[in-house]
Every structure is written in C-alpha cells, then in structure tokens.
C-alpha cells in the first residue's frame, strides 16, 4: 500500500509507482490513498504527470471501510511517500484522523512494515522526537535524502537513489546500485 500526504516531493511517489509497476510479480495487491493536499501539490509540482499513473485501486482519505483500516486485512507493508511532518506527528502520537493515519496505526499495532518518507528539512526538536516515537513503535523513517555513490547525473537519478532504498527497506528485490 502506498500513501501520499501533503508534503512536497511528489516526484518520489511518481518514481515509486513506476518502479512498483515494474515489479508487479513481487506483490499480491497494490492500493493507493492520498490526501487532498497531496493531490494539489502533485498538480503544482508535476503538472504534466497523471496522479494515479497505473490506475492503482485508490481509496479516499476519509474511507474508514477500506480493508487496510483493519488489522484483519492481509496488507503487510505501507509506504507513505512523501510523508508530511504533520502526518508523521499524528501517527507518532496515535491520532488516526484519516485513512492514512488509521492504516499506519494498524501497521504499527499489528507489527507490520511501515515506512515513512519525510522530505522536510531542517528538523526541529518536535520532528526528531516524533521520528524517535515512530522508530520505537516499530516504524521506519527513511528521509528523502539521495545518495551520490552511483554518480547521479539527473534529478531523476537522485530520486531513484531514494526510491530504491525505500523498496529495499520494504523487502522487494530490485536491481539497484550497491556499494
């Protein structure tokens, strides 16, 4: 399951969708949920790109009847990319006020994989404490910080370094530059 909250960095979600589409044989079902703010930011940052590029089954952010809003569902991984610090803070403090935060709460309570990809910089102490709380609860905080080992030549090359790391953390087998 992938989710987008209202943070800058839609390009990370775009490349994540592209890469997940390429490895469809490695997962049973892929769903998408996005906040309204995420969709607005996408339009601003990626005006020529379709939001749901591969017609992934999409759930509205207020749909608490979505299967992954319950611990009895079989969804085992959630990636929130990009993840706003507001969303991260609500998850860290157990506030399930929309489908994204409820699904994240389910992932944590069921001890399943939750990966949050904040793009914010710099961090204030509240951000750091919330990231610590997520980590202590079993989640993974993977900031959208590109690596330079592969000598990236374009912005897309930089984005791929982050997305490959996310997919690696999620347990997917991907062909990626390794140190």
pLDDT > 80? residue 88:
yes
Query: CA triplet 95, 96, 101: central angle to 5 degrees?
Result: 110
Q: How many CB atoms lie within 10 A of CB 67?
A: 14
pLDDT tens track for 96-142? 999 999 999 999 999 999 999 999 999 999 999 999 999 999 999 99
For residue 3, which phi and psi values (nearest 5 degrees)? Answer: -135, 150
Q: How many CB atoms lie within 10 A of CB 153?
A: 8
d(CA 70, CA 24): 24
pLDDT tens track for 37-85? 999 999 999 999 999 989 899 999 999 999 999 999 999 999 999 999 9
Classify residue 133 by burial, with Cβ atoms within 10 Å: 0-12, 13-18, 19+: middle
**Facing residues of 115 across strands?**
79, 140
Report all structural domains of the chain as residue ranges with CATH numbers, in order of start: 2-155+166-170 (3.40.50.1950)
d(CA 39, CA 43): 6
DSSP for 132-152 reads: HHHHHTT-EE-------TT--
């Amino acid at each position: 399951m992938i989710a987008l909250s209202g943070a800058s960095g839609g390009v990370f979600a775009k490349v994540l969708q592209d890469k997940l589409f390429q490895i469809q044989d490695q997962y049973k079902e892929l769903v998408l949920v996005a906040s309204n703010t995420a969709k607005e930011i996408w339009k601003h940052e990626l005006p020529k790109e379709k939001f749901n590029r591969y017609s992934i089954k999409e759930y509205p952010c207020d749909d608490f009847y979505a299967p992954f809003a319950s611990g009895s569902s079989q969804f085992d991984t959630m990636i929130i990319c990009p993840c706003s610090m507001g969303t991260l803070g609500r998850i860290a403090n157990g506030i399930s006020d929309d489908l994204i935060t409820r699904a994240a709460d389910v992932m944590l309570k069921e001890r399943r994989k939750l990966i949050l990809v904040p793009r914010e910089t710099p961090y204030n102490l509240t951000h750091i404490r919330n990231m610590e709380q997520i980590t202590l609860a079993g989640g993974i905080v993977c900031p959208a910080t590109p690596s330079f080992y592969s000598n990236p030549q374009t912005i897309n090359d930089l984005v791929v370094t982050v997305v490959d790391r996310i997919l690696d953390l999620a347990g997917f087998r991907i062909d990626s530059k390794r140190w």
